[in-house]
Structure 1
Amino acid sequence: MALQIGSLTLRSPVVLAPMAGVTNVAFRTLCRELEDELTGSTSGLYVCEMVTARALVERQPATLHMTTFGPTETPRSLQLYTVDPQTTYDAAKMIVDEDMADHIDMNFGCPVPKVTRKGGGAALPYKRSLFGAIVAAAVRATEGTDIPVTVKFRIGIDDAHHTHLDAGRIAAGEGAAAVALHARTAAQRYSGTADWSEIARLKDHVRDVPVLGNGDIFHADDAARMMTETGCDGVVVGRGCLGRPWLFAELSAALRGTERPTPPTLGRVADIMRRHAELLADHHGEDRGLREMRKHVAWYMRGFPAGSDLRQKMATVSTLVELDGLLDQLDPTVPFPPDAEGPRGRQGSPSSVALPDGWLDDPEDCAVPAGADLMHSGG
């Protein structure tokens, strides 16, 4: 089951959603290694952490470090957070001129209050003209290349202000090669249940380009079910893969109709954790890499039997040698617990969306929101 996004042909219609502090080159490499090991090939699209267009253009060292790709990683997929058409053009042109990526995605889904109150993230598609100008700028910067531009957004700000149908139509009209919908509003954040019926509505509304669905893909059957129920062309997976980088192999096998990999034992999970830590140490250096690894521990260990003392030590690990000693204390024969699947990571609670004063007054206002390009989170 292939997916065509502009010049890119993906053998599996499964996309890794960018997640801040998670989908760096270490995690993407691990996901790709496991898919290749368990299914015989790497077939999906693995998107790097989202970077801010302004920071990229300004060549901020931390941002440039986030755009690191593995030596054999292909296609190289980079997601931009942006609010300004000119900065968008400059960033996309930089990506083209310096051969930084093979695919550009733009994120308009972040629901974090510090972002939406400035007019960024999930607030921005309400400004239809500005949204269209931003998409058009990225497409214009990639003209004459094989680099497709895609766009991700949410249903809208809240139940009274849905924007996804307009956003899909506008993005496709301005030349986006595909659109992706996180089937929640900004007000929901990550709580409750994703409304897959809105993915179906978007698919019916946008017929010229592929429509991808995002939200509540937690195990192999979910991807096939979403595609069957909504008619979408592919799925975007975020929180479901936290602590489960082998999920993409399971999804790929399920969608191809081939035998699914056997869920890993605790011993195999320990090996995967060790490889993840090693890759993080290579990317960040051992000190920071192991600090980054700490947040993954609870996700990997979810549902497995392990004492609180051991869990605590693993959550404060500082070196690879220390991690090796702790992993050796796990029982390698323990099978993967069935209750380890399900929602992971941040969920939060639904709440009103912080917006700039007067934001809802004029949906055609093209003014660039002040100070809204100083963030780095995902959505």
Structure 2
Amino acid sequence: MVGVPPSLQIGQYAVEPAVVLAPMAGITDVAFRQLCREYGSPTSLYVCEMITARALVERDAKTMEMITFAPTEHPRSLQLYSVDPRNMGEAVRMVASEGLADHIDMNFGCPVPKVTRKGGGAALPYKRRLFGEVVSAAVRAAEPAGIPVTVKFRVGIDDEHTTYLDAGRIAEGEGAKAVALHARTAAQRYSGRADWTRIARLKEAVTTIPVLGNGDIFSAADALRMVSETGCDGVVVGRGCLGRPWLFAELQAAFTGAPLPAGPDLGEVGRILRRHAELLVDFIGEDKGVRDLRKHMAWYLRGFPVGSQLRRGFAMVSTLAELDDLIGKLDHDAPYPAEEAEAPRGRQGSPGRVALPEGWLDDPDDPAVPAGAEVMHSGG
């Protein structure tokens, strides 16, 4: 089929179809990954929240909880963040020696000020030598265990400081098994439109490993169009699946040539909500699990005819019994509001100046690790 990529090969893993759930802070925990996998292909990739290398090495309690994987998850995909080659290498060796994951993705795309201010995330690829050393440290540490390493980054810091072509070539040269481009700059954050022409240019520059595209995939049609327009080898889906884990069923159908399943009515969305709650409760208990589900409610109910009082009830739910009562009050026959549900969702915000360490832009070939760069907080 035109616009449909073949299966994606990441090291020894065939990713079929070529679809990846992007790591999202506070979202892609073990419960949400399981839910997306239940709708999608078991051989696609579903990546956990961003984990800080130093926090992992220090065995921070919250970080160790965040790298929980379900028994059915395979391959287990873990995203690591670091600014220091030594810490990155140590963290990957720990993952390899203790069998904590089967695939490692590296985060060089986070635009959050507390990350870029320390030279991390989307700021780091500007420092070409340091970026290469961090990627190399991960690849070398992962090689003995046969763990493939992939690299995700943005277009650059801003329109005047684009880094993605150099980053792609460097990652390829250091032995990464694939690269993924979020086609926005750090200055854009999540605002405006992703520039898919950058994905096409990266695909032309990086020729020996797969190139994945990320940004503004809110429907199966978007995914097919990205592949057709850019020639990318697969897609990375983030905000488009917020409150819509069934998007992975649509992507699987689109990429295999099967008919697209119909969108769920409100009754089915209620059942999906209940399933999400069950998975969270299994993971962190009823009190924390149901409360954690609150952040997903507006996404699940978007576009459906749900009164303000009922919406407030979902936003404040505390127990499974309360959740069941609220689900019972929904109009279960309300049809899927496709146009509104498939519009952009999740955080967008506005563009802004990128916070950087003092003098960060002076010398792109300076390999020095910024002072105090390694944070202990995982999750972005």
TM-score range, shorter chain: over 0.9
Give, in angstroms, the shift of residue 376 of structure 1.
3.1
1:172–1:208 contact (8 Å) kept in structure 2:
yes
Larger displacement relative to structure 2 (284-293 or 365-374): 365-374
| Equivalent residues in 2 for 1:148-187, closer than 5 Å | 148-187=148-187
TM value normalised by structure 2: 0.97
1:159-214: CA deviation from partner (whole Å, max 9, x where unpaired)? 00000000000001000000000000000000000000000000000001000000
Contact 1:239 1:345 in 2 (8 A): yes
Residues 110 and 377 in structure 1, CA contact (< 8 A), matched pair in contact too: no
* Corresponding letter in the other structure for 1:376: S
Residue 377 of structure 1: how far off its partner (Å): 4.2
| 1:290 Cα offset (Å) | 1.2
Q: In the aligned structure 1, how far is the partner of 2:99 from the partner of 2:145?
A: 11
1:83, 1:368 within 8 Å by CA — same for their partners in 2?
yes
Instruction: Note the C-alpha offset of 1:286.
Output: 1.1
| Aligned positions of 1:122-137 closer than 5 A | 122-137=122-137
Which residue of structure 2 aligns with residue 106 of structure 1?
Answer: 106
Residue 86 of structure 1, CA deviation: 0.5
User: 1:81·1:373 contact (CA, 8 Å) conserved in 2?
Assistant: no
User: Could you list the runs of 5+ residues in structure 1 that have no partner in the other structure?
Assistant: 36-40
Asked if 1:300 corresponds to 2:305, the answer is no
Q: Distance in 2 between matches of 1:292 and 1:248?
A: 22
- Partner residue, 2:346: 345
| Amino acid in structure 2 at the alignment position of 1:187 | A
Measured in 2, the distance between the counterparts of 1:119 and 1:89 equals 18
Q: Is the 8 A contact 2:184 2:195 kept in 1?
A: yes
Q: Return the alpha-carbon distance in structure 1 between the equivalents of residues 157 and 78 of structure 2.
A: 25
- The superposition leaves residues 275-331 of structure 1 with CA deviations (integer Å, 9 ceiling, x where unpaired) of 101111111111111111001000000000011011001101000111100010001
Contact 2:172 2:208 in 1 (8 A): yes
Q: CA deviation at 1:334?
A: 0.9
CA distance in 1, matches of 2:168, 2:79: 17
Work out the CA distance in 2 between the residues paired with 1:123 and 1:145: 30
In the alignment, which residue of structure 2 is the partner of 1:234?
234
- Give the share of equivalent positions with the same residue, in percent: 69
Q: 2:27 aligns with which of 22, 30, 49?
A: 22
Matches of 1:273 and 1:373, distance apart in 2: 37
Aligned pairs, number? 373
- Contact 2:43 / 2:74 at 8 angstroms: preserved in 1? no
Deviation at residue 155 of structure 1 after TM alignment: 0.2
Report the counterpart of residue 264 of structure 2 in structure 1: 264
- Give the TM-score of the pair, scaled to structure 1: 0.97
Moved more, 154-163 or 361-370: 361-370
> What does residue 38 of structure 2 align with?
33
Distance 1:342 1:120 in 2: 31
- C-alpha distance in 2, partners of 1:148/1:371? 29
Q: Distance in 2 between matches of 1:343 and 1:117?
A: 28
Q: Provide the rounded CA distance (Å) in 2 between the counterparts of 1:261 and 1:90.
A: 45
Tell me by how many angstroms 1:107 deviates: 0.4
